[in-house]
């Protein structure tokens, strides 16, 4: 008995065990759909553990991945909801695997097709399901990139593929991606502003943003509109729409805030309103304005413009070149995956329709 007459168990509540959530997958060409899946999974517990398959396993079971193991690991580690990353995990998820890593539940997207590699964890009552983010998938992105290789990196301006994109970001989803930690910069913060397309958000962008964090602790990313990106990039860029790019960047733990449809020219008023201490740019070319003027004239005049070397050679064009070099293989892979995804979506639609009928 304690001095207040309570037993030890009544005197102070026992520390509640943290729930560890397991998510595994390929995570090739990580996109905001992956990030949204991980966001939902994190809500199911306290610690989110993400396990990734090796490139050898992915190639054996699904086909050649576009991104390297190092790139995939780096991308997942940079997502704000991820607590731990485990590398080189087998494609079959067992109860023993969850227990080895002290995970309580396994989360996966709604799926109604193919061999169930989660049968064992379902039987053990450890399986949980999150909603798929409809309107985006690695298959969809790969298809857009394959369409670009058909033009063989054409130099003339083309209509961006995202004009046919069916995904629309709601204010609710954007708010969920921002999270409760979103805040205004304080007097003690060093505010860094960076701008660009951040198209097909990849590991090269992560390397750049990590370098930016060495300069300041509050990173604001200005994302240019689709029309603006197409003006200076040409061809079929951007690959991803502004709404998709916003979510991809917001999911990154190195980013503090995002300016949606940021002006191409960084003006004096922008610098003042955003309380910018430094404006940083990578090694990619700075395209002039339509009138030939320098879009970074204001920060250069103030002496706050810096060029940052990320140390990464990865660009969106490099990814496109990889796909071009293995184009036939990716076409075969994508055709099979598109057919499977159509079956999955149709099965999920029937499931939702049946649920609605049952509730009438």
* Dist CA 65 CA 26 (whole Å): 8
Residues facing 220 on adjacent strands: 193, 257
Instruction: Quote the distance between the C-alpha of residue 119 and its chain's center.
Output: 28
Contacts of 48 (CB under 8 A, 6+ apart): 21, 23, 38, 41, 42, 81, 82, 83, 84
* Phi-psi domain of 209 (left: phi exceeds 0; alpha: psi -120 through 50; beta: other): alpha
For residue 100, what pLDDT is reported? 97
Task: Express each pLDDT in 309-326 by its tens digit.
Answer: 999 999 999 999 999 999
Residue 165 has pLDDT above 80, yes or no: no
| Lowest-confidence pick of 188-202, 251-265, 334-348 | 334-348
What is the CA angle 122-123-125, rounded to 5?
A: 65
| Lowest-confidence pick of 96-105, 115-124, 344-353 | 344-353
Closest alpha carbon to 25 in 93, 119, 124, 80: 93
Q: How confident is the model at residue 2 (pLDDT cuts 50, 70, 90)?
A: very low
Beta partners for 130? Answer: 109
The better pLDDT of the pair 214, 357 is held by 214
56-98 pLDDT per residue, tens: 999 998 889 999 999 999 999 999 999 999 999 988 899 999 9
CB atoms within 10 A of CB 106: 27
């Amino acid at each position: 008995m304690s001095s207040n007459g309570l037993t030890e168990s009544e005197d102070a509540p026992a520390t509640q065990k943290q729930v560890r959530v397991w998510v595994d997958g390929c995570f090739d060409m990580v996109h905001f759909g992956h990030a949204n899946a991980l966001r939902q999974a994190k809500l199911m517990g306290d610690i989110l553990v993400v396990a990734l398959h090796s490139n050898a396993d992915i190639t054996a079971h699904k086909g050649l991945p576009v991104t390297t193991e190092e790139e995939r690991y780096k991308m997942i580690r940079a997502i704000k909801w991820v607590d731990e990353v485990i590398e080189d995990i087998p494609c079959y998820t067992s109860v023993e695997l969850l227990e080895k890593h002290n995970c309580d539940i396994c989360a996966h997207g709604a799926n109604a097709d193919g061999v169930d590699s989660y049968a064992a964890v379902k039987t053990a009552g450890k399986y949980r399901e999150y909603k798929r983010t409809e309107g985006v998938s690695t298959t969809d992105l790969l298809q857009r990139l394959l369409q670009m290789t058909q033009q063989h990196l054409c130099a003339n301006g083309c209509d961006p593929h995202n004009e046919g994109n069916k995904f629309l970001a709601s204010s609710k989803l954007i708010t969920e991606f921002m999270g409760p930690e979103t805040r205004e910069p304080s007097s003690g913060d060093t505010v860094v502003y960076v701008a660009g397309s951040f198209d097909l958000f990849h590991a090269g962008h992560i390397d750049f943003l990590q370098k930016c964090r060495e300069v300041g602790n509050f990173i604001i990313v200005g994302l240019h509109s689709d029309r603006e990106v197409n003006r200076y990039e040409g061809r079929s860029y951007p690959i991803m729409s502004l709404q998709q790019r916003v979510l991809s960047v917001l999911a990154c733990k190195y980013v503090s805030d995002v300016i949606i449809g940021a002006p191409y020219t960084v003006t004096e008023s922008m610098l003042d309103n955003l309380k910018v201490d430094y404006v940083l740019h990578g090694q990619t070319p700075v395209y002039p304005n339509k009138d030939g003027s320098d879009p970074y004239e204001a920060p250069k005049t103030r002496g706050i413009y810096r060029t940052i070397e990320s140390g990464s050679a990865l660009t969106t064009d490099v990814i496109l070149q990889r796909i071009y070099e293995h184009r036939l293989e990716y076409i075969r892979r994508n055709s099979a995956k598109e057919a499977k995804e159509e079956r999955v979506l149709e099965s999920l639609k029937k499931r939702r329709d049946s649920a609605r009928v049952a509730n009438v």
